[in-house]
Amino acid sequence: GAVVSQHPSWVICKSGTSVKIECRSLDFQATTMFWYRQFPKQSLMLMATSNEGSKATYEQGVEKDKFLINHASLTLSTLTVTSAHPEDSSFYICSTVGGRDNEQFFGPGTRLTVL
């Protein structure tokens, strides 16, 4: 399957600052990537669909001005959490679509802690 990396793997920031998370498809050209967040012991919640060269599509209830997504190339999508607050602390995971049956392959995740 596709190999996906994320950077950083963890980040701690102060409330009010912005944090950028990178998602890279290392061996696959990804026109579409997905961003999820996950709380402890819970399933993945889709935040948005990132489309190369166009605006991201956000799920209902996700603030697009707070979670800025940029997909400027076929191998890189970024998620910027703007003016982060403690309630934004979570595990953020990205994925690419690939494979014969449109499977999704996930990055290792980024743990964000906002103090």
Partner 1 sequence: TQLLEQSPQFLSIQEGENLTVYCNSSSVFSSLQWYRQEPGEGPVLLVTVVTGGEVKKLKRLTFQFGDARKDSSLHITAAQPGDTGLYLCAGLYNQGGKLIFGQGTELSVKP
CA nearest neighbour of 93 among 2, 13, 9, 1: 9
Q: Which is nearer to partner 1, 13 or 45 (CB)?
A: 45
Q: Which is nearer to partner 1, 44 or 68 (CB)?
A: 44
Query: What is the nearest approach in angstroms of partner 1 to the Cβ of residue 107?
Result: 5
Length of the chain: 115
Query: What is the nearest approach in angstroms of partner 1 to the Cβ of residue 97?
Result: 6
Q: Which is nearer to partner 1, 1 or 16 (CB)?
A: 1
Chain centroid to CA 6: 9
Query: What is the nearest approach in angstroms of partner 1 to the Cβ of residue 57?
Result: 9
Chain contacts with partner 1 (rule: CB under 8 A): 1, 4, 6, 32, 34, 41-46, 49, 91, 93, 95, 97, 99, 101-109, 111
Tokens 């995740």 correspond to 109
User: Residue 89 corresponds to which amino acid?
Assistant: S
Whether the CB-CB separation of 39 and 90 falls below 8 Å is answered with: yes
- What are the beta bridge partners of residue 103? 98
Q: Which is nearer to partner 1, 33 or 81 (CB)?
A: 33
